[in-house]
A and B are shown apart, each in its own frame.
Chain A
Amino acid sequence: MPPTSTFNAPTTLEIAISYLGMIGMIAVIVLVIVLVFKMEKIKELLSQTARLKRAFDELDGQAKLIVQTDVELHKTQEELDKKVAGLVTLQKLTRLLATTLDEEELFKKLDEKHVTELGFDRALAFCRDETKTFRLKAAIGYNVEEAERIQKLITGMPLIMDIVMNKQKVLSTADMDRASKESPHLLSMLNLSSFVCAPITQKEGPIGLLLMGSESPYTRLTEGDKDLVYILATQIGQTLENAKLFEETWRAQQELEHKIQQRTRELSAALEEIKVISKRKSDFISAVSHELRTPLTSIKGYASILAAGKLGELPPQAKERVEKINKHSDSLSQLINGLLDISRIESGRQEMKLEPIDLKSLAQSLGDMLAPPIKDKNIELVIDMPEGLAPVSADKSQLERIFINLIGNAIKFTPVGGRIGIAARTVENDGSIRVSVSDNGIGISEHDLRKLGEEFFRVDNEVNQKVKGTGLGIALVKHIVEAHKGQFSISSQLNKGSTFSFTLPKA
């Protein structure tokens, strides 16, 4: 009997189930494998996410860093902007302030526009008067009532002001310490949230203070604000000082001008008086001279008749006396003629007949005329005039008188064997010719030189003591030269000689 088996052949269902089971197993294994891989992927992704988050946080951290750096940058930039804008306004203000020299005007020139441009809302300016009381000079951004109230209340607020004034320090609400107790009250009184206060200083020290403030609680005061207010306060101080100096200078000038005017008036009056006196003198001389000349002519005529013996021979003693009368009459006549000439020239009655005159030929002819006395004293006469010298415009007879007087004087005071020079030169850039007559005679002292040219003045020297003269010669020359619109001058050194110069216009 064949062995029997209890093992039944698996049914199709069982086979199918077992296949499915196997497939399921494989699938599970695959799934597990996939899951393992996915888990790895998830892990990786998670770590990537963590990395990204870290990077994101780091970026956020960097953003924070950027913000913090940027804050500082903005702060600096804002400060810089404020400073530049403030400086531009300050420059405008400085120019504006420089246009006034009046204290009241100066404070009026500060207005709300400038205060706003400087980054503030309101401004106050105080100046201390003689009684050391603060006087409100400008209140910008406040109405009249507010300004009056501030003026009244400010007298009880000396602490901050004293610190600013005495220490010459710029104070701002941002850095107040000692005065801080006072500041809240001051701020509410001035209706400000912050302010900067700077002394208005001059050379002698502070004279007042400038306070500039902001209403806005959001305005942050900076060191730049302090600098701006300080510069402006200093500028105001300088302008006030300039105004004071200007006023003093102006007053002094006014006083001086007044004095000059008064003196000019006095001098004009004196001059008028002198002119009147001078005219009277000329008139008097003229009248007297005329009055003297008539009898003198008679005296001279009779003396001549007597001296000529026309009325019979005179005894020798009488003749001698008559000749003396004749001689002295001549001198007197000469003196009177000289006086009359001066009087005529001075009063302008002597008409100058101007004509072109060649100086060289005139000097030569006069040299010839005066040759005898020159020869007598063996004097060398040198005429030094360049060729082609322009003629002068002068009255010939008067010019001859000048030369005769000057050469005559030179002959008189030049020792025997001396030298007389007549020179003429064109004066550069001045349409005139300078003529000089020089000698190497006894010369004139400095003291006498000043008086020479005055009428009747004669130098007290040996020659003048011996030779008589009227003392009118040089005065006459001077008058004639001046009548020609020329200038007359004398230079001399004692015992060395003298030079008499005059200028005449070119023809």
Chain B
Amino acid sequence: MESFVGVGFSEKKDPFLAASEAAKLALYQIHHRPISFAFLFSTIHFAHPRVLDGIHYALGNVKLLGCTGAGVITSDAVRKYGVGLMLISMEKIHFGRAVKTGIQGKSAREAGEEFARLALKDLGTTQRDLALIFSDGMIENGSDLLKGIKDIMGLSFPIIGASSGDNFCFHKTYQYFDRTVLTDSVIGMVFSGENVFGMGLRHGWKPLGRPHTITEVKGNLIRTIENKPAVAIYEEYFGKSRKEIEKTLIEMSIYYPLGIYVPGETEYLLRNILRIDEDGGLLCQGDAPAGSEVRLMMGTKDWALEAGSQAAREAKEALKGREAKAVLIFESISRNKLLGRLTEKELARVKKEFGDVPILGICSYGEQAPLKSLEHYGETYFHNETLAVLAIGEPHAPDKHV
């Protein structure tokens, strides 16, 4: 039986009313068919259990995953206020789900492993083909969490996901799982279905200036670059004092993130800076190994837009001719800031690739996806400043068992 996907969006003030309105709109689009699973994305204003009550009121019990973002992406705009819900009715799809709370701190890697085990257990014996994860965007060791998941699922197993966001306060972010609003958690699904999913990830930032070597690292903290406090790289390039840089660091690192060269990969890994520690070390959202080559990166709107097109094209090509039924977009809040009003142009470019397909997404604080997605999937990394596109195609015959 053919699959149906519907997307509803509401800006109603009351979280319950907004969620139920979005749910009804989406349900109408899938012609009231049984719901296989649902994705819920909202701005921070709606991070309230009443949102889930509203969905339950309109739809009853549904398998729901989602998170808050700095914006909600629908097929026509990037909204800074509202609730978006995608309902998917796919009979043939097979998946396992899991939730793991308490991912902050030293145990992030273990939490990742635990999550992966739970997800795989829930999937059962069918072949695993893709993992989709949503994790708290406020954790400082997103890479560790991802490492833990990769430890269990495999280094080159394709994982795509987003880190939840708030309204650029970097205060608290939330994840939705069925009828619970969570924080400090990772939630996700492991799907079975070969060539059902297509992924694309690009950022479009380019290296600027000479390469530098990271000399000392502790977790996500780059302590020194070329034996000088890491912040010196920003001091040098911006011609400003540390104090001045501290004031505008987050903003600056959005436009000029650090780029880590990964041997054998075509794109640099981008890292946003969260804060400067007292010794001038730079705390990043993702890891940056000692000895790796680091460059200051620069983005322009045109490059970013072109990268958007490339990401969408890659995701489409990865479907290998199958028709996309739905598209999920995880766009870094940094891109949103860089592109400003042109974000909708980027959206238009994605739409140009896929045509009239239901689209839902969020502006995230971090993205997870493999660097390469043509021919084969490479290793999944934690990214900043990227646009990750997940295209879901029509599922096919029964799944293979392992």
By a CB distance below 8 angstroms, the chain A residues around B170 are 216, 218
**A354 contacts the other chain (Cβ, under 8 Å)?**
no
SS class of chain A's interface: helix, strand, loop or mixed?
A: helix
**B80 contacts the other chain (Cβ, under 8 Å)?**
yes
Verify B169–A59 contact, CB threshold 8 A: no
**A219 contacts the other chain (Cβ, under 8 Å)?**
yes
By a CB distance below 8 angstroms, the chain B residues around A121 are 167, 169
Verify A63–B80 contact, CB threshold 8 A: no
By a CB distance below 8 angstroms, the chain B residues around A113 are 11, 13, 81-82
Cα separation A457 to B210 with both chains bound (whole Å): 117
**A455 contacts the other chain (Cβ, under 8 Å)?**
no
Cα separation A35 to B168 with both chains bound (whole Å): 65
Verify B208–A216 contact, CB threshold 8 A: no
By a CB distance below 8 angstroms, the chain B residues around A60 are 209-210
A65-85 interface mask toward B, CB cutoff 8 Å, 1 = contact, 0 = none? 011101100100110011011
Cα separation A418 to B232 with both chains bound (whole Å): 121
Cα separation A174 to B17 with both chains bound (whole Å): 38
By a CB distance below 8 angstroms, the chain A residues around B251 are 218, 220
Verify B13–A68 contact, CB threshold 8 A: no
A59-B210, A74-B255, A81-B341 as given contacts; A67 in contact with B80, CB under 8 Å: no
**Contacting residues of chain B (26-42) with chain A, CB-CB under 8 angstroms:** none
Verify B252–A66 contact, CB threshold 8 A: no
By a CB distance below 8 angstroms, the chain A residues around B82 are 113
Q: For residue A140, which residue of chain B has the nearest CB?
A: B13
The residue in A66, A218, A220 that gathers the most chain B C-beta atoms within 10 A of its C-beta is A218
**B278 contacts the other chain (Cβ, under 8 Å)?**
no
Q: For residue A217, which residue of chain B has the nearest CB?
A: B169
By a CB distance below 8 angstroms, the chain B residues around A81 are 340-341
Q: For residue A71, which residue of chain B has the nearest CB?
A: B238
Residue of B81, B169, B237, B338 touching A116 (CB-CB under 8 A): B81
**B152 contacts the other chain (Cβ, under 8 Å)?**
no
Shortest CB distance B8–A (Å) = 17
Number of interface residues of A (CB under 8 A): 31
Verify A112–B13 contact, CB threshold 8 A: yes
A215-B167, A216-B167, A217-B169 as given contacts; A66 in contact with B341, CB under 8 Å: no
Cα separation A438 to B239 with both chains bound (whole Å): 105
Residue of A59, A116, A220 touching B248 (CB-CB under 8 A): A220
Cα separation A44 to B158 with both chains bound (whole Å): 52
Shortest CB distance B365–A (Å) = 12
A216-239 interface mask toward B, CB cutoff 8 Å, 1 = contact, 0 = none? 111110000000000000000000
By a CB distance below 8 angstroms, the chain A residues around B81 are 112-113, 116-117
**A281 contacts the other chain (Cβ, under 8 Å)?**
no
**B45 contacts the other chain (Cβ, under 8 Å)?**
yes
By a CB distance below 8 angstroms, the chain B residues around A246 are none
Q: For residue A115, which residue of chain B has the nearest CB?
A: B81
By a CB distance below 8 angstroms, the chain B residues around A67 are 208-209, 237-238, 256, 296, 298
Q: For residue B251, which residue of chain A has the nearest CB?
A: A218
B178-212 interface mask toward A, CB cutoff 8 Å, 1 = contact, 0 = none? 00000000000000000000000000000011100
Shortest CB distance A74–B (Å) = 5
Cα separation A74 to B248 with both chains bound (whole Å): 13
**A56 contacts the other chain (Cβ, under 8 Å)?**
yes
**Contacting residues of chain B (289-311) with chain A, CB-CB under 8 angstroms:** 296, 298
Cα separation A339 to B70 with both chains bound (whole Å): 95
Cα separation A60 to B233 with both chains bound (whole Å): 12
**B236 contacts the other chain (Cβ, under 8 Å)?**
yes
Shortest CB distance A60–B (Å) = 5
Shortest CB distance A311–B (Å) = 112
Residue of A64, A66, A74 touching B236 (CB-CB under 8 A): A64
Shortest CB distance B164–A (Å) = 16
Cα separation A463 to B236 with both chains bound (whole Å): 120
By a CB distance below 8 angstroms, the chain B residues around A216 are 167-170
A70-B255, A218-B251 as given contacts; A64 in contact with B45, CB under 8 Å: no
By a CB distance below 8 angstroms, the chain A residues around B62 are none
By a CB distance below 8 angstroms, the chain B residues around A193 are 169
**A111 contacts the other chain (Cβ, under 8 Å)?**
yes
**B171 contacts the other chain (Cβ, under 8 Å)?**
yes
**Contacting residues of chain A (88-138) with chain B, CB-CB under 8 angstroms:** 111-113, 116-117, 121
Cα separation A193 to B250 with both chains bound (whole Å): 15
Verify A64–B209 contact, CB threshold 8 A: yes
Shortest CB distance B253–A (Å) = 11
Q: For residue B248, which residue of chain A has the nearest CB?
A: A220
A158-185 interface mask toward B, CB cutoff 8 Å, 1 = contact, 0 = none? 0000000000000000000000000000
Q: For residue A57, which residue of chain B has the nearest CB?
A: B210
Cα separation A59 to B210 with both chains bound (whole Å): 8
Residue of A66, A77, A218 touching B340 (CB-CB under 8 A): A77
**Contacting residues of chain B (44-87) with chain A, CB-CB under 8 angstroms:** 45, 80-82
Cα separation A68 to B248 with both chains bound (whole Å): 14
Shortest CB distance A471–B (Å) = 81
Cα separation A56 to B212 with both chains bound (whole Å): 13
B332-374 interface mask toward A, CB cutoff 8 Å, 1 = contact, 0 = none? 0000011011000000000000000000000000000000000
A63-B208, A111-B13, A112-B45 as given contacts; A68 in contact with B238, CB under 8 Å: yes
By a CB distance below 8 angstroms, the chain B residues around A220 are 248, 251
By a CB distance below 8 angstroms, the chain B residues around A68 are 237-239
By a CB distance below 8 angstroms, the chain B residues around A219 are 168
Cα separation A86 to B255 with both chains bound (whole Å): 22
Shortest CB distance A76–B (Å) = 12
Cα separation A193 to B80 with both chains bound (whole Å): 19
B229-255 interface mask toward A, CB cutoff 8 Å, 1 = contact, 0 = none? 000000011110000000010111001
A78-B340, A81-B340 as given contacts; A218 in contact with B237, CB under 8 Å: no
Cα separation A112 to B45 with both chains bound (whole Å): 9
Cα separation A220 to B337 with both chains bound (whole Å): 13
Verify A84–B167 contact, CB threshold 8 A: no
Cα separation A71 to B167 with both chains bound (whole Å): 23
By a CB distance below 8 angstroms, the chain B residues around A111 are 13
Shortest CB distance A88–B (Å) = 9
Shortest CB distance A450–B (Å) = 70
Cα separation A63 to B259 with both chains bound (whole Å): 15
Cα separation A112 to B43 with both chains bound (whole Å): 12
Verify B210–A64 contact, CB threshold 8 A: no
Can you list 17 residue pairs at the A/B interface with Cβ under 8 Å?
A64-B236, A64-B237, A66-B208, A66-B298, A68-B238, A70-B256, A70-B298, A78-B337, A81-B340, A82-B340, A84-B341, A113-B82, A116-B45, A116-B80, A193-B169, A216-B167, A216-B168
Q: Which residues of B contact A (CB under 8 A)?
A: 11, 13, 43, 45, 80-82, 167-171, 208-210, 236-239, 248, 250-252, 255-256, 296, 298, 337-338, 340-341
Known: A56-B210, A60-B210, A64-B238. 20 other contacts (CB 8 A): A57-B210, A59-B209, A60-B209, A63-B296, A64-B236, A66-B298, A67-B209, A67-B238, A67-B298, A78-B337, A82-B340, A113-B11, A116-B43, A116-B81, A117-B81, A121-B169, A193-B169, A216-B169, A218-B170, A219-B168
**Closest 7 CB pairs between A and B?**
A81-B340, A63-B209, A216-B169, A113-B81, A116-B81, A216-B168, A116-B80
